[in-house]
Amino acid sequence: QFFKRVFFIPVLFSIVAVGFLWGMYLKPTGLVNNFLKLVGLAALQRPWLGLEHLATPTIILVNIWRWVGFPSLVFLAAIDNVPGECLEAAYLEGVGEWKLFWKIIFPLIIPSITIITVLTIIGSLNVFEQIYTMTGLDGAPNYATDTIGTLFYRTAFGSIDAGSPEIGIGSAIGLVIYVLTFFTSLLSIFVTRKREVQL
């Protein structure tokens, strides 16, 4: 129960609050670099959101930290619902742990995997708040963290660098986001459903 709570608590936080706080923690004088210095790892100190090759991986890691609790609980609940007699029969047949997972458990939890896959794809294609709160609307540094969501916002509503709004182009980008989300979700459902089994 303790680990369930530890993993799930970040999911309850607002994505804007998470982005804002981690944006401060990852500054050159922020909590992360101060901690590295405190434990004797000063050589690893970096401007985490200021380097083009580090900014996006850093934001991805923060997003994983916030999001991982939800799929973990979904998968745990799905595994708990796998019929015990199936596992017992497999053990009696001498099936190893790895084969047990891939041949029995995995096909039975495909519906949960489908749900998480679709939600992850939708979230990835529509990411905006975290980028905006951590690196700004222009995807700094040098557009390294720019996404289709921030591009849409800059185009449709304007920004300091983008200039005046272009509602027509912004609408077209919004349509592209919708089409990408729709067809990618359909593809993921089709691929995962092919491996689904019924008891």
At 195 the pLDDT is: 65
Contacts of residue 66, defined as CB under 8 A and 6 or more positions apart, other chains included, come to 10, 11, 13, 15, 18
Contacts of 176-185 with CB under 8 Å at 24 or more apart are 176/148, 177/125, 177/126, 177/148, 177/149, 177/152, 180/125, 180/148, 181/121, 181/122, 181/125, 181/126, 184/121, 184/125, 185/118, 185/121, 185/122
What are the structural domain ranges in the chain? Answer: 2-193
Which segments in the chain show pLDDT lower than 50? none
Pair of tokens at residue 155: 């185009």
Pair of tokens at residue 93: 């047949």
At 167 the pLDDT is: 83
- In angstroms, rounded to a whole number, what is the distance separating the alpha carbons of residues 47 and 33? 8
Q: Please state the pTM of the whole predicted model.
A: 0.83
At 163 the pLDDT is: 60
At 97 the pLDDT is: 86
Interval 109-122: pLDDT, tens = 988 988 898 889 88
Pair of tokens at residue 134: 């951590």
- In angstroms, rounded to a whole number, what is the distance separating the alpha carbons of residues 47 and 28? 5
CB atoms within 10 A of CB 130: 24
- In angstroms, rounded to a whole number, what is the distance separating the alpha carbons of residues 26 and 166? 33
Instruction: Give me the CATH topology for the region 2-193.
Output: MetI-like fold (1.10.3720)
